[in-house]
Amino acid sequence: MSIAPDPVELSAPRDPASYGRSRLMGPGFWALIAFGVLCILAGFGISRFGPQLFPVKPQAPASAVAVPLAAPASGPAATEAALPLADEAPAPPMSEAVVRLTERIEALEAEQSRTAEAAASALAAAALMEASQTSRPFADELAALDAVSPPSTELRALRRIAERGAPSRAALAASFPDYAARAAGAARAPGEGAGLGARLAAALSRVVTLRQVGDVPGTGIDALLARAERQVEEGDLDHALKTLDGLPPAGREAVAPWRAAAENRADIDRRVSAVRVQALEDLARLARSGA
């Protein structure tokens, strides 16, 4: 006979969650919780009071850090170290070709500057020539030429008469017949011992002046005045003034005002022409040298 097994005592199964609760709620669990809280409090305290309790010492700047100097080395390595850097190396001397080219460029620039000044002087001289031919003053045109031209005797002489100017050649030619008539009448005036007829003829000449004009031969008063008038009309003041020198004293005195104006005009034209010729010669010389 077999022995019947003991009956197994059956009971209801336990809840699985009860196993977890019994294991998690033990002493180890609470120790772990306490350690975490302590870590949090320690971190907060260090971040809050650490800079005050443990101040950071300032570091010296990089330039102030002392670098121990090694003993000077010798040999090729030391020689290479002593050489200056490439940026600090002196510029190599210019070659002879570069020096000659630089000198040539500087000479061309100086020559160009002189040519520009000479051209400006020539233009100013032309403007002065045009202005001086009129009867008005020409001080402004003379000042413009004086500013771009070297000092000269002609310019200094022109400054004295530029403020007043002189009558133009056309104005002198228009006024000459009146002065020629006065000179003819004054030259024919009777002397102290003249008779009645001569005195009547002189009085009549003051009312109606008769003189020969055109190409009159001879050396008489009418011939000299006619020759001078033709020369004035042709613009030849220098020869006209020389012709008037042959008049008798009374005739020269009669044309003295006209003569003074004509001498000023001739002086202006002569000096302005000399200044203009000099300016053109300077410009031409520079142009030839630069060619």
The model's pLDDT over 257-270, given as tens digits with 9 standing for 90+, comes to 999 999 999 999 99
Of 102-106, 125-129, 229-233, 272-276, give the lowest mean pLDDT range.
102-106
The model's pLDDT over 96-110, given as tens digits with 9 standing for 90+, comes to 777 676 767 766 666
Tell me, what's the pLDDT at 118? 83
The model's pLDDT over 17-34, given as tens digits with 9 standing for 90+, comes to 454 455 545 666 667 777
Tell me, what's the pLDDT at 74? 53
Q: Express as a percent the part of the chain with pLDDT over 90.
A: 34
Tell me, what's the pLDDT at 16? 47
Token readout for 2 is: 């077999």
Those residues whose C-beta lies under 8 Å from the C-beta of residue 291, and which sit 6 or more positions away, are: none
Half-sphere exposure (CA, 13 Å, Cβ side) for 229? 22
The gap from C-alpha 70 to its chain's centroid, in whole angstroms, comes to: 61
Whether 98 contacts 245, CB under 8 Å:
no
Mean pLDDT, the chain, whole residue set? 73
The model's pLDDT over 146-175, given as tens digits with 9 standing for 90+, comes to 998 888 899 999 998 999 999 999 999 999
What is the helix (H) or strand (E) element at residue 160, kind and residue range?
helix 153-162
The model's pLDDT over 221-255, given as tens digits with 9 standing for 90+, comes to 888 999 999 999 999 999 999 999 999 998 999 99
Angle at CA of residue 203, ends 201 and 205, nearest 5°: 70
**Rounded CA Rg of the chain:** 60
Nearest to 185 by CA among 248, 104, 94: 248
Give the 3-state secondary structure of residue 140: helix
The model's pLDDT over 164-220, given as tens digits with 9 standing for 90+, comes to 999 999 999 999 999 998 888 887 765 555 555 555 555 555 544 444 555 656 678
Please check the confidence at residue 6 and state whether its pLDDT lies above 70.
no
- DSSP labels for 22-77? HHHTSHHHHHHHHHHHHHHHHHHHHHHHHHHHSPPPPPPPGGGS--PPPPPP-SHH
Please check the confidence at residue 7 and state whether its pLDDT lies above 50.
no
Tell me, what's the pLDDT at 240? 94
Q: What is the 3-state secondary structure (H, E, C) of 199-221?
A: HHHHHHHHHCCCCCCCCCCCCCH
Which residue's structure tokens are 């005050």?
52
Report CA-CA distances (Å) from 7 to 1, 3, 12, 16, 281. 17, 12, 16, 26, 153
What is the helix (H) or strand (E) element at residue 268, kind and residue range?
helix 256-290
d(CA 280, CA 260): 30
Tell me, what's the pLDDT at 129? 93
d(CA 199, CA 206): 11
